[in-house]
Structure 1
Amino acid sequence: MCGICGLTTAGDADHAAVVTRMNAAIVHRGPDDAGSYTDATTSLAMRRLSIIDRAGGHQPIVNEDGTLVIVFNGEIYNYRELREELLRSGRHIFRTQSDTEVILHAFEEFGERVPERLEGMFAFCIYRTTDGSLFFARDRFGEKPLFYWHGDGRTLAFSSELTSLLEWEAIPRQADLDALHVYLRRAFVPSPWTTFAGVRQLPPGHTMTWRNGVATVRRYFALQPREDAAFEDERAAKEAVRGALLSAVKRQMESEVPLGAFLSGGIDSSGVVAAMQRQSSRPVKTFTVRFAQADYDESPVARCVAEHLGTEHREFFVPNNAFDAEDLWRVVRHVGMPFADSSAIPTFYISRLIRDHVTVCLSGDGGDEMFAGYQTFRWTQQLDRLAIAPGFALAALENVFAAASRFPGLGGSSAVRKARRAVHFARGSANERVWSIGEMFSRDEMDSLLADEHHAARRRLADDWLNAQVAALDGMSRLRQMMAFRQQLSLPEDMLIKVDRMSMANSIEVRAPLLDVGIANLAARLPDKHLIRGDVKKYILREAIREWLPDEVFSHAKMGFGIPLHAFVNRQYVELCEDLLLGDRDGLTAQLFRRAALESFVRRGLDRISDRADLSVYRASHQLWALLQLAAWAKAFRVTL
């Protein structure tokens, strides 16, 4: 695992000095080693967290004749098989045992199709010294990041993190308002956008070639669901899932440094840990977070799993009301963009605490996306049935629930709020229902909040873009459309950002066996009936691992990994909100938002401590967190409109 960066320019910039600064900004991603390559036009550099071939895997690596140079971030799980294939050809000479060198020689053999042969998580750059071209690739689901800028057509800069990329002073620190509208609407920034105008991220499953000042981006992977009759039989499907999980976990347990696993007590992480323990000669090191608030705390189930499997288990306690200002700035600094997912806070803390015990950690990330684990999938299917009702009837019903929320005695009713929201979403289009159920700010809230005279057009652009992503999934079953949306957007732009940035901030490598390409391709071939059966989500995964785990894993309600954000409000939190959102009358937020509406969002985000008929405490607190993230990002990076 590493961080990579580089700069190629036809101008007179001191590219070596710039890249030295860029590399220093990502030292946390690779504290064990550093390396660089420089010629007349191009500099490449990397920081290394040594996991495989610790003695010989120094980067950059240059091929035999000096025509290719590679910097690489990630792990390739099938590198041994590829290495043997390349050796059998008789055309390659290896000087190391590292997966990095395998990629370089595979590029010589297969050209720009090389990512299709790689199984793992990766982002890399290969520089061709003969013509000055650069080839980039990013893994299928976006586990490893890659950002770039080529604003003037003569220069291209890239890095694993935005903070590092911005060490190149030529990059303007201007907000991308279209990206910000998507962020406010749906709480993530989708590739290739970033919130910096002109700065892009290479989308998952894509390659990019930079040649003669032109960047050409190509998609090499898209998961195509297609039911396979071989898995119509439940027993066959169950055995295939179990075998694929064992295989993926075994491959990802290879490490020359201490290895463990996150264990939440949920189905995904419990299944991964069970597969690890079945293939380990010693107790697996497992780690979980314990929260003070019971309805956010899965640690009793995790403890039960650990005892059942015989792991070496540790719990780390995260108290309520322990918010520190650095919790905000840290997320902004490492993500480089506003990041609305507050679970980045506990992800950082557990990563920091386990760093004393392991360097590599396996996780259950990707299980919900691959095997249909989200409750919103069932809700959307129910909304589809509700949407059959005439539009006028739904409009009247929404008005009834809106009025009911103001009745004495019903103001605290969550049932009224949920019913009103259900009718509201049912009134939308079929495509809209796939994404709007997870919206951060509604259309009305956006209209009340945004002061920009062009905001309505940008908000429509955001909605149109989101609808177009769903429309591109036409031909899939309804369930597969919802899964694909999650796989292509929410997973890489939220879940995997959180895991990568917060773990790498502590020099921890996190691997996700449930995102193994073999598991993904298998899950895509399963009949929908094996994914959700009645009210049971991830049905076939549950059945595949049931005999490995205690009943408590399957009987307790799904929680997800999050914090009771409203309970973290303390004096520091209040002061940050007042300073960044209300105190700065000349900054980005003051220019973007209407003052009165902003004050209202801040007050209700700070004051709401329980669910009511008009608004849930979760929504109120996380809308405020999303705004606070945006304001902190703008201040930290001195962003202008």
Structure 2
Amino acid sequence: MCGITGIFDLRERRTPGRALLEAMNQTQFHRGPDEGGVHLEPGVGLAHRRLSIIDLSGGQQPLFNEDESVVVTYNGEIYNFGELTTELKQAGHTFRTHCDTEVIVHAWEQWGEACVERFRGMFAFAVWDRNRETLFLARDRLGIKPLYYGRLPDGQLIFASELKALMAHPELPRDIDPCAVEEYFAYGYIPEPRSIFKSVHKLPPGHTLTLRRGQKSIPDPREYWDVPFAGLTINESEAADELVERLREAVRIRLEAEVPLGSFLSGGVDSSAVVAMMAGLSDEPVRTCAIGFDDPAYDESDYARQVAERYRTNHYVEQVDPDHFNLLDRLGEMYDEPFADSSALPTYRVCELAKRQVTVALSGDGGDENLAGYRRYRHHLAEERLRGLMPADLRRPLFGALARVYPKADWAPRMFRAKATFQALARDSVQGYFQGVAILRDELRGRLFSPGFRRELQGYDAVEVLRRHARRAPSDHPLSLVQYLDMKTYLPGDILTKVDRASMAHALEVRVPILDHKLVEWMSGLPPELKLHGAEGKYVFKKALEPYLPSDVLYRKKRGFSVPVAEWFRGPLRERMEQQVLGETMADTGVFDMDYLSTLVGQHVSGARDHSPALWALLMFDNFMQRLQA
């Protein structure tokens, strides 16, 4: 994969400084250690770091069309570039390389902004068209590849794959966005389009941004694709057969590379399915990578081994020390803005292992969102059925009162932990789901922030992120709705961000066949009961894979890629956590009620409550603030 960055002067034709652009580009060296390139002309500067995958001897960027009036800097893979090349040659375009990058400049010439609708793959790119005095930014449909952009006070726009490249520009305003902080402590990440800074945005998945010289303001991005959720008429057997064929095709087009290629193999359904398809498409043994833990509560390597043995892969396993919290500071450097998913730690380790064997790895990400694999979907549908039994005017005051009087009982068996359920039933569907995914629920965030910071928020609530997407949802089925919400928020903001930064930290390209947009479109239309059937998530997927995978892999309890954060904060990380969460840096922000932070810490270390998600989020926020002030 690669890293891109650039500067565009909206007002005039000031040529960016080469040293500055190279410094911004160099912050992303890890994304592309093979080569670097810079293009400068009046009013525009484009830069690129390359990780060579296809056409190793050609394809250097920035890359031009025939008369050098159009130039691109690009991060990603366009898997249908062969067909597009043929079509564009027939239309009269001349190609000088055999790489997918050159397709972009000619596609822009041929189809303009609609070019992105022709691309099948993962990408973030910038095209500069000198004749039209236009800069065109684009991001892939699902948000696999990142793209940040921001406007400087002097009228210049800067963009990059990672926020750190923008932060290398001395004129970037670094005022923190209070709404982004509220969203971070609700979701554990900052959903698109916000970033931690008021001056910087993320281009949302499936959007483009067209900028022309002389514009006084940055226009709103344009959406070119959305998950359709268009209902299919199909039975279970037909769906199972077609799902395997579509997955096989999505895997097949991702096997082209001129460098070593393999796959992650966690032992879960999704990565195991990808490996099974790869094995059927390859004459050589598939290279698979997995990590193991000493603690059986977290270790899934035995399931991965079963799949590896079945398909006779060249399987690489590395036992990871569960106390790998020595990576805490490294995480802050990788993610640039606050990011509170602790599974970033094992993700970093499995990418580190994979890079020792391959340069490209396929992953199983996206299966849970597309095929309803998360347990929270089952809980949400159960709550929806209960909501439907009583009018909202009666339900809200009744369950709201029960929630207020029922004690919080995190320590008790789930059947006795009714407080959260009562709270959810007192809310509407979107707000109820929000409380289920929030790492700090409303009442905790209400106490977390100082009075001064709450005034800055002016009543803003992070649930508005979900409400905004829910208003545009293409389906009102309760399962399809929450799948759609996750595809718009959790998938790009957490899952894909986590994998992109962890893999790019090791110059490893990760391809995601289950997020092939044609496959996603088709899966979204499957009847909801084929995705969540009773208590069984990914129902039709598992049925389809029964001839390919062991029953133990298909039907075991889902674990997730977790680490023992709660135990760390009562043991080896206790002192560090207390020093950072209750330290001067956090107090000086003015964001927090420090007395309440002391309460959170005290309740957790005593064992009275498990506040590990909140404390991890606070620790990561402190890491960010310390780097910001350095």
Counterparts of 2:567 and 2:320, CA distance in 1 = 12
Q: Deviations over 1:34-81 (max 9, x none)?
A: 111011221111000000111111111111111101000001111111
Higher mean C-alpha deviation, range 527-536 or range 259-268: 527-536
Q: Deviations over 1:138-165 (max 9, x none)?
A: 0001100000111436201111011111
Helix, strand or coil: the match of 2:629? Answer: coil
Cα drift, residue 180 of structure 1: 0.7
Is the CA contact (8 Å cut-off) linking 2:59 and 2:99 kept in structure 1? Answer: yes
Helix, strand or coil: the match of 1:38? Answer: strand
Cα drift, residue 419 of structure 1: 2.1
Is the CA contact (8 Å cut-off) linking 2:15 and 2:44 kept in structure 1? Answer: no
What corresponds to 1:476 in structure 2? 476
Cα drift, residue 420 of structure 1: 1.8
Higher mean C-alpha deviation, range 559-568 or range 599-608: 599-608
Are 1:21 and 2:23 matched, yes or no?
yes
Higher mean C-alpha deviation, range 417-426 or range 252-261: 417-426
What corresponds to 2:223 in structure 1? 219
Counterparts of 2:413 and 2:570, CA distance in 1 = 26
Helix, strand or coil: the match of 1:275? Answer: helix
Letter in 1 for 2:628: F
Letter in 2 for 1:602: V
What corresponds to 2:173 in structure 1? 172
Is the CA contact (8 Å cut-off) linking 2:179 and 2:460 kept in structure 1? Answer: no
Letter in 2 for 1:218: R
Q: Deviations over 1:181-208 (max 9, x none)?
A: 0111222211110011111110000000
Q: Deviations over 1:593-629 (max 9, x none)?
A: 1111011223344454xxx7xx4x4xx1121010111
Letter in 2 for 1:17: A
Counterparts of 2:605 and 2:171, CA distance in 1 = 39
Counterparts of 2:404 and 2:45, CA distance in 1 = 62
Is the CA contact (8 Å cut-off) linking 2:332 and 2:338 kept in structure 1? Answer: yes
Is the CA contact (8 Å cut-off) linking 1:15 and 1:41 kept in structure 2? Answer: no
Counterparts of 1:79 and 1:623, CA distance in 2 = 45
Letter in 2 for 1:258: P
What corresponds to 2:134 in structure 1? 133
Q: Deviations over 1:472-514 (max 9, x none)?
A: 3274311110100011110000000000001000100001000
Is the CA contact (8 Å cut-off) linking 2:7 and 2:16 kept in structure 1? Answer: no
Letter in 2 for 1:122: F
Helix, strand or coil: the match of 1:425? Answer: helix
* 1:460-471 alignment runs, 5 A limit: 460-471=460-471
Are 1:431 and 2:416 matched, yes or no?
no
Helix, strand or coil: the match of 1:225? Answer: coil
Higher mean C-alpha deviation, range 123-132 or range 4-13: 4-13
Helix, strand or coil: the match of 1:179? Answer: helix
TM-score, normalised relative to structure 1: 0.93
Aligned-residue CA RMSD (Å): 2.0
Gaps of 5+ in 1: 406-410
Percent of paired sites with the same residue? 36
Letter in 2 for 1:293: D
Counterparts of 2:576 and 2:211, CA distance in 1 = 42
Gaps of 5+ in 2: none
Aligned residues: 619
Cα drift, residue 251 of structure 1: 0.6
* 1:521-600 alignment runs, 5 A limit: 521-569=521-569, 573-584=573-584, 588-589=588-589, 591-600=590-599
Counterparts of 1:234 and 1:474, CA distance in 2 = 23
Cα drift, residue 463 of structure 1: 2.7
Is the CA contact (8 Å cut-off) linking 1:11 and 1:154 kept in structure 2? Answer: no
Is the CA contact (8 Å cut-off) linking 2:542 and 2:554 kept in structure 1? Answer: yes
Cα drift, residue 421 of structure 1: 1.2
Counterparts of 1:275 and 1:172, CA distance in 2 = 48
Higher mean C-alpha deviation, range 136-145 or range 423-432: 423-432
Is the CA contact (8 Å cut-off) linking 1:70 and 1:127 kept in structure 2? Answer: yes
Higher mean C-alpha deviation, range 490-499 or range 287-296: 287-296
Cα drift, residue 371 of structure 1: 1.1
Helix, strand or coil: the match of 2:573? Answer: helix
Cα drift, residue 586 of structure 1: 7.1
Helix, strand or coil: the match of 1:623? Answer: helix
Is the CA contact (8 Å cut-off) linking 2:265 and 2:304 kept in structure 1? Answer: yes
Higher mean C-alpha deviation, range 144-153 or range 572-581: 572-581
Cα drift, residue 422 of structure 1: 1.4
Cα 1:607–1:11, aligned 2, differ >3 Å: closer, same or farther? Answer: farther
Q: 2:613 aligns with which of 602, 615, 622?
A: 622
What corresponds to 1:181 in structure 2? 182
Is the CA contact (8 Å cut-off) linking 1:29 and 1:505 kept in structure 2? Answer: yes
Is the CA contact (8 Å cut-off) linking 1:435 and 1:466 kept in structure 2? Answer: yes
Letter in 2 for 1:70: V
What corresponds to 1:635 in structure 2? 626
Is the CA contact (8 Å cut-off) linking 1:263 and 1:287 kept in structure 2? Answer: yes
Is the CA contact (8 Å cut-off) linking 2:325 and 2:345 kept in structure 1? Answer: no
* 1:159-558 alignment runs, 5 A limit: 159-211=160-212, 212-213=214-215, 214-216=217-219, 217-229=221-233, 231=234, 233-324=235-326, 327-387=327-387, 388-389=389-390, 390-399=395-404, 401-402=406-407, 405=409, 412-415=411-414, 418-453=417-452, 455=454, 457-458=457-458, 460-473=460-473, 475-558=475-558
Letter in 2 for 1:289: I
Cα 1:129–1:305, aligned 2, differ >3 Å: closer, same or farther? Answer: same
Is the CA contact (8 Å cut-off) linking 2:16 and 2:44 kept in structure 1? Answer: no
Q: Deviations over 1:331-362 (max 9, x none)?
A: 22121110010111111111112211101000
Counterparts of 2:521 and 2:439, CA distance in 1 = 31
Is the CA contact (8 Å cut-off) linking 1:323 and 1:569 kept in structure 2? Answer: no
What corresponds to 1:155 in structure 2? 156
Helix, strand or coil: the match of 2:553? Answer: helix
Letter in 2 for 1:353: L
Are 1:8 and 2:12 matched, yes or no?
no
Counterparts of 2:618 and 2:416, CA distance in 1 = 23
What corresponds to 1:47 in structure 2? 49
Letter in 2 for 1:311: T
Runs of 4+ displaced beyond 6 Å: none
Cα drift, residue 377 of structure 1: 0.7
Is the CA contact (8 Å cut-off) linking 1:321 and 1:569 kept in structure 2? Answer: no
Cα drift, residue 320 of structure 1: 2.5
Q: Deviations over 1:11-43 (max 9, x none)?
A: 757432211001110000001111110112211
Cα 1:277–1:584, aligned 2, differ >3 Å: closer, same or farther? Answer: same
Cα drift, residue 582 of structure 1: 1.7
Cα 1:11–1:37, aligned 2, differ >3 Å: closer, same or farther? Answer: closer
Counterparts of 2:71 and 2:34, CA distance in 1 = 21
Is the CA contact (8 Å cut-off) linking 2:142 and 2:517 kept in structure 1? Answer: no
Helix, strand or coil: the match of 1:548? Answer: coil
Higher mean C-alpha deviation, range 103-112 or range 522-531: 522-531
Cα 1:474–1:130, aligned 2, differ >3 Å: closer, same or farther? Answer: closer
Cα 1:221–1:603, aligned 2, differ >3 Å: closer, same or farther? Answer: same
TM-score, normalised relative to structure 2: 0.94
Is the CA contact (8 Å cut-off) linking 1:207 and 1:219 kept in structure 2? Answer: yes
